Structure 1
Amino acid sequence: MYRKLSFFLLFVAVTVAACTYTQRIRDGRTAFDRKQYAVATKMLEKEYKKAKSRVEKGKIAFLLGESYKEINKSDQSISWYEIAYNNQYGVDALKEYAYALKRAQQYDEAMQAFKELGIEIGSPYEYRREILASDRAKNWSKDERLQKEYNVEVQSFNTGFADYAPVLYKGRTLVITSDRKASVGDDTYNWTGNDFSDLFLVDLETNNVTAFAEPVNSENNEGTVSFAPDFSEVYFTRCFGPKREDAYCKLMVAENTGGESWSIPRVLDFVEDGVNYGHPSISSDGRTLYFSSNHPDGWGGYDIWMSERQEDGSWGTPDLLSRSINTIGNEKFPQIDNDTLYFSSDFLPGMGGLDIFRTYRFPNGSWAPAKNLKVPVNSGADDFGYTIDRSAPRRSGVIQQGYFTSTRDNGIGNDDIYRFEKLPPPPAPPQPEPEEIVYKMILDGYVLEKIYEQPGNPNSRVLARKPLPGSTVEIDMGKGKKTVEIGEDGLFTLELDENTDYTFLASKEGYLSNDAEFSTKGIGRDPETPEMRFEIEIVLDKIFIDQEIVLENIYYDFDRWEIRADAEPTLNELASNLKLNPQIAIQLSSHTDCRGNDRYNEDLSQKRAQSAVDYLIAQGIDASRLSAKGYGENQLAVDCICSRCTEEEHQANRRTTFKILNSQ
């Protein structure tokens, strides 16, 4: 499911010159790297047969599993992941094997694979949710009553490319997002099938597909549209950025200027730089705009936000929807239908990838607990973009009809659009007399530490997390505080009050303290779900004295040392950690690659390290706790012959690090 997360918001930045794409593909790895997955599978299978060692076979088999996953061939991807694992590729192959089984709805096999994975990495905790979710999804998939509640049919206007996010337009017309070859953009990129996305009109009477008007469509990526109730405005996502900088997705609006003509689109005022926005959906009265964003003020991943239209017609500062909807995972593709909100999540209890959920808004503004639409609308694949069609005539007995998107295996290829009909549910079995409803909200909190691929090396890959017994958590409930001790399972449980903000500070000797937040504001009571359970995780980092730790995503312009905007989130997180841990002092260091003379590199790296220190001081960190050191090229992470170093090796050497000097 993770391959889709970035594509859904279309923030892939195309940075390779066109001539690179036209070079001849000579091996399977090159085809894979250039996303020619169908070509890669053919080449890699031939290379696998010629491979002489188990290690080489394992590497090729893993690439085959990844390639078949990308072209939605579950059976082949499962087989090759298993072969990769059996040929010593390691836990990554077992992990992908488990998730592939889950996406293919082979839930018993997936549960067993997740159990084995937890044992192998040394943390059964890490995949407990996947095991529980697989068991629940298995029961849903066997429920015959659920299967009878919907008719679901793939639509013939789909292509082998990505076709998704359907929205009803004027007359019997559907607007979809697609990266089919008719998209606007440089033709040299069309071979990938997903470099450029545009909006298309589908005539539902004839299934004829035509491109939406320019200037809404452009050479950038466009997608996921919403229209004002009178079709006077169009809201959509466009992904773009300055030259040589990352492309971010922004919310755009254009006004109808007559017929199918639209004004030059402009970015909505509340959109911030360095944040991705997408999937707009405007309410039936035109007063509220819902969308998805990975804004740092959210609960984690992508969350759903809403903005109210102001008296002057502008959109107000967005509000984050409640924890009955948003999670630490990804919530995307909101679609508002009167007081009911449909959206997709990969963290709420689901069947595999993204699942479609439904919630509704109470008159007081709070939201009901999200309900999974279950099978046959949801599947082990990614399911999203649910929209209701009220304009088409309905067959007798049909309650609701519309469209949604899925990557399930029985489609035409890639993302496909399906039509659904919701039917009256079969009679429910007799239920006992209802008891008096007692409403509860329970929070399960876990305190965890990281498991590194190389124990004792904080720069090595994190394989998983495991419970951290012996830690303590201070809970601030607004009206008072309390401290709880954490046992062997890493768990603390708290019964929550309504309309309350909570903060949690976890600590343990030898670890950096960390905090978390949770709020019950905006969570409404639902008689169908009187007891709601939520979950948070607080991860504590072990303190490694006098050991350099690489700060990710700290880059500088050529021959410059100023902190760029894309480095600020990492430094802000470091500043937050320093505030939570006033007992530590750190040294910030900068390293260059081997190119350039020694004096130049030492001077440049010292300026860069000092810039990072100055930034932290501006964030309120005491200067006495910070020092800067530029090492130039004296401590290369990759010791290669300079004239023969690859660009990746040079990048690994150009790094900014910090190390803890003391901890009182």
Structure 2
Amino acid sequence: MNKRFSYLSVLTLVVFLLSSCASYHARQGNRLYRDLAYSQATKEYQKALGKKSIPQAQINLAESYRLMNDLSKAEEAYSKVVQLKEVEPIHRLRYAQLLMRSGKYEQAKNYFDQYLGSQPNDHAAQKQRQSCDSISSWKQDSARYTIEVSKLNTEGSSFSPVWYRDGVVFVSDRNSKSKTYQWTGRPFLDLYYSKKDQSGNYGTAMPVQGDVNGMYHEGPATFSSGNDTIYFTRNNYVKRKAVKSDQDVVILQLYEAFNKDTTFRGLSSLSFNSNDYSTGHPSLSADGQTMYFTSDMAGGEGGSDIYMIRKENGQWGKAQNLGKQINSPYNESFPMLWKDSLLYFSSEGHFGQGGLDVFYSSKNADGSWSMAQNMGYPFNSSYDDFGVAMNADGTAGLLSSNRNTQNTQLDKIYSFTINDLRFKLEGIAVEKQSQLPLPGVVVELTNRKTGEKEKVTTGEDGKFFFKLNPNTDYSVVGSKDSYFTNTEPVSTVGKVQSENMFVKLKLEMEQIVVNKPIVLENIYYDLDKYDIREDAAIGLNKLVRIMEDNPEISVELSSHTDSRADDKYNKTLSQKRAEAAVSYIVGKGVSSERITAKGYGETMLVNRCANKVACTEEEHQANRRTEFKVTRMSK
């Protein structure tokens, strides 16, 4: 008994010590968590949870990894959080978003549904749920961009490039001698410059010279058109001490400095900064009088929003929120104004693929902005995509992302090229009877959406080429003297660019020969009837189009029967059918002066099937036909 009692006492003591130890590490983790030292807090929470199950420690561990952008560990930790009885709706939303960012869209939909079951009015979450169903359609256009890793990168993070002089300035934590940022456990961020050589290769990146880089974070920047002023993001600190907001957070602010002898001096804070909220990620208009930036100031749509501010009489005015066309209840950031007409930015709240996606918006004539449009795949990924620099002609640039990396805490710079993915229409005009190439055909392409027209003339090979926009209907009209003008429809609607980049067309041109009969196919009538059937209207519409395309011709439309039935009856029936067809065509807008009706009955058989000759049904059918012939051509 004494031995058993002693054993139980030791066991109880061990459990008590383990519990006390777990509580100690959990408390340490909570302290570090409150201080935003997430990289250190995770170590303490792991120690605590290795000894005892503490729900709040598990929740804080998961949130720490999420805030550090360590997506795989955050996903693993949140998978345990959603199993806790203490789980809250926000935890299910966070887990769904993490699953989405790792490309697990089917699993993500399940947790979005659980979250929306308790929070049905969260429209931003509804958009994210709907986005999970759109992934396959986005990936259909995978040939639209060419994305490559830039040589600007090192082992650390590099992001938010901006053009400067003959190279690029970007943000990086590559300085291993810098102080450690306790949030991420990595060095603080600085601004670097890399110059391009004559071959277009970037040289070794060096810190931007002058007063710009300090002891804490320096972030995304922009330059005046003459490169004499830099506006950039940095932590708010005075005399080497960080200034915190009322919420005990070290905020971001916008600063400016001036270029003096290749270094930036005269550092000063912009007038619209505040100790109550962050401002950052500047982008400047061409004249330097308007700035777009990111802020989490009160009164926005939620999270961080994009704002615009104008300089009046040398002073910055009042910031204006860009509104719901741009901003959402979640975070919008990293604006980049291109040629004062397009705004590129990143968002978590619009329809996207996960994390931050890059969007663009066009400036309207009244100064407002169009609804944000996703840049699509593979410009965007399920990870964070942001910080765009676009070249002068809008065909290539640089992009920031944490995709394709084993460590999602590290951002990298990628180069991109926007490929010309207009479809190529490759056509040939041929003489209808011989099928030989026909030179001298004027081919006109008309965009049926915009009315825009293009013309080419075929050479000896009869070939012609056009470029077609996606999801657009066109008409192609071929014309040549003494030939019927021919119109053919062409459409790229529904075509997938990455699967088929060519549209082929044979434009058959038939020579106009006066009084030469031409059969109109598939003109059928019910027995003993002459009213126009629905299927016959299709064939007659072709003649309507020929008459519209060739206004210089007049025609005779003739109807023919087979030899079965009385000759007089057949003549009368064919005349009524011809008149019905002409009436239909005139009803479509063709002048009655350009078309006449003629019923020939059985007087112009095309084979041996005269009266009392035994023939097959197919032979009789050949005689039952509708024809037209050109009777006159006006100049």
Q: Return the TM-score normalized by structure 2.
A: 0.54
Any unmatched runs of 5+ in structure 2?
1-23, 426-445, 452-635
Task: Give the aligned residue type for 2:145.
Answer: Y
**Relative to 1, partners in 2 of residues 1:319 and 1:409: Cα closer, same or farther, differing over 3 Å?**
same
Contact 1:62–1:89 (8 Å) recurs in 2: no
- 1:37-186 → structure 2 map (5 Å cutoff): 48=49, 50-51=51-52, 55-56=53-54, 58-59=55-56, 61-66=58-63, 68-70=65-67, 72-91=69-88, 93-119=91-117, 123-127=118-122, 129-159=124-154, 161-171=156-166, 173-182=167-176
Aligned to 2:400: 405
Q: Give a deviation string over 1:111-148, Cα, whole Å, max 9, x none.
A: 111222344xxx24045643443333442345443211
Contact 1:402–1:421 (8 Å) recurs in 2: yes
Aligned mates of 2:417, 2:75 — CA distance in 1: 32
Task: Give the aligned residue type for 1:196.
Answer: F
Aligned mates of 2:141, 2:211 — CA distance in 1: 44
Aligned to 2:190: 198
Contact 1:78–1:101 (8 Å) recurs in 2: yes
Residue 343 of structure 1: CA displacement? 1.1
Residue 156 of structure 1: CA displacement? 4.3
Q: Return the TM-score normalized by structure 1.
A: 0.52
Aligned mates of 2:225, 2:113 — CA distance in 1: 50
Q: Identity percentage over the alignment?
A: 29
**Relative to 1, partners in 2 of residues 1:423 and 1:28: Cα closer, same or farther, differing over 3 Å?**
farther
**Relative to 1, partners in 2 of residues 1:85 and 1:388: Cα closer, same or farther, differing over 3 Å?**
same
- 1:3-402 → structure 2 map (5 Å cutoff): 27=25, 30=28, 33=33, 48=49, 50-51=51-52, 55-56=53-54, 58-59=55-56, 61-66=58-63, 68-70=65-67, 72-91=69-88, 93-119=91-117, 123-127=118-122, 129-159=124-154, 161-171=156-166, 173-182=167-176, 187=179, 192-193=184-185, 196-203=188-195, 205-241=201-237, 245-246=244-245, 247-258=250-261, 260-310=262-312, 312-338=313-339, 339-390=341-392, 400-402=395-397
Contact 1:183–1:198 (8 Å) recurs in 2: no
**Relative to 1, partners in 2 of residues 1:45 and 1:218: Cα closer, same or farther, differing over 3 Å?**
closer
SS in 2 for 1:402: strand
Aligned mates of 2:183, 2:386 — CA distance in 1: 26
Task: Give the aligned residue type for 2:98.
Answer: A
**Relative to 1, partners in 2 of residues 1:275 and 1:113: Cα closer, same or farther, differing over 3 Å?**
closer
Contact 1:133–1:349 (8 Å) recurs in 2: yes
Task: Give the aligned residue type for 2:395.
Answer: Q
Residue 236 of structure 1: CA displacement? 0.9
Contact 1:215–1:262 (8 Å) recurs in 2: yes
**Relative to 1, partners in 2 of residues 1:137 and 1:229: Cα closer, same or farther, differing over 3 Å?**
farther
Contact 2:160–2:386 (8 Å) recurs in 1: yes
Task: Give the aligned residue type for 2:107.
Answer: E
Contact 2:37–2:182 (8 Å) recurs in 1: no
Any unmatched runs of 5+ in structure 1?
1-25, 392-398, 437-664
SS in 2 for 1:342: strand
Residue 305 of structure 1: CA displacement? 2.4
Aligned mates of 1:343, 1:124 — CA distance in 2: 28
**Relative to 1, partners in 2 of residues 1:175 and 1:109: Cα closer, same or farther, differing over 3 Å?**
same
SS in 2 for 1:134: helix
Task: Give the aligned residue type for 2:231.
Answer: Y
Aligned mates of 1:93, 1:298 — CA distance in 2: 24
Task: Give the aligned residue type for 2:120.
Answer: Y
Contact 1:107–1:135 (8 Å) recurs in 2: no
Contact 1:335–1:386 (8 Å) recurs in 2: yes
Aligned mates of 1:252, 1:35 — CA distance in 2: 24
Aligned mates of 1:202, 1:27 — CA distance in 2: 45
Contact 1:141–1:375 (8 Å) recurs in 2: no
SS in 1 for 2:115: helix
Once superposed, what is the RMSD of the aligned Cα atoms? Answer: 3.8
**Relative to 1, partners in 2 of residues 1:331 and 1:116: Cα closer, same or farther, differing over 3 Å?**
closer
Residue 233 of structure 1: CA displacement? 0.8
Aligned mates of 2:316, 2:334 — CA distance in 1: 19
Aligned mates of 1:329, 1:203 — CA distance in 2: 36
Matched, 1:417 2:413: yes
Aligned mates of 2:329, 2:307 — CA distance in 1: 14
Alignment size in residue pairs? 394
SS in 1 for 2:400: strand
Aligned mates of 1:162, 1:148 — CA distance in 2: 27
Residue 341 of structure 1: CA displacement? 1.0
Residue 293 of structure 1: CA displacement? 2.2
**Relative to 1, partners in 2 of residues 1:317 and 1:78: Cα closer, same or farther, differing over 3 Å?**
closer
Residue 300 of structure 1: CA displacement? 3.9
**Relative to 1, partners in 2 of residues 1:125 and 1:193: Cα closer, same or farther, differing over 3 Å?**
same
Contact 2:174–2:187 (8 Å) recurs in 1: no
Pair member with larger Rg: 2
Aligned mates of 2:39, 2:203 — CA distance in 1: 28
Residue 232 of structure 1: CA displacement? 0.9
Residue 423 of structure 1: CA displacement? 0.9
Aligned to 2:581: none
Aligned mates of 1:332, 1:390 — CA distance in 2: 22
Aligned mates of 1:71, 1:208 — CA distance in 2: 28
Aligned mates of 2:68, 2:151 — CA distance in 1: 19
**Relative to 1, partners in 2 of residues 1:174 and 1:182: Cα closer, same or farther, differing over 3 Å?**
farther
Contact 1:156–1:207 (8 Å) recurs in 2: no
Residue 41 of structure 1: CA displacement? 6.3
Q: Give a deviation string over 1:82-119, Cα, whole Å, max 9, x none.
A: 23332434225433322211221212211111222344
Aligned mates of 1:314, 1:127 — CA distance in 2: 39
Residue 405 of structure 1: CA displacement? 1.6
Residue 235 of structure 1: CA displacement? 0.8
* Of 31-40 and 216-225, the range deviating more from structure 2: 31-40
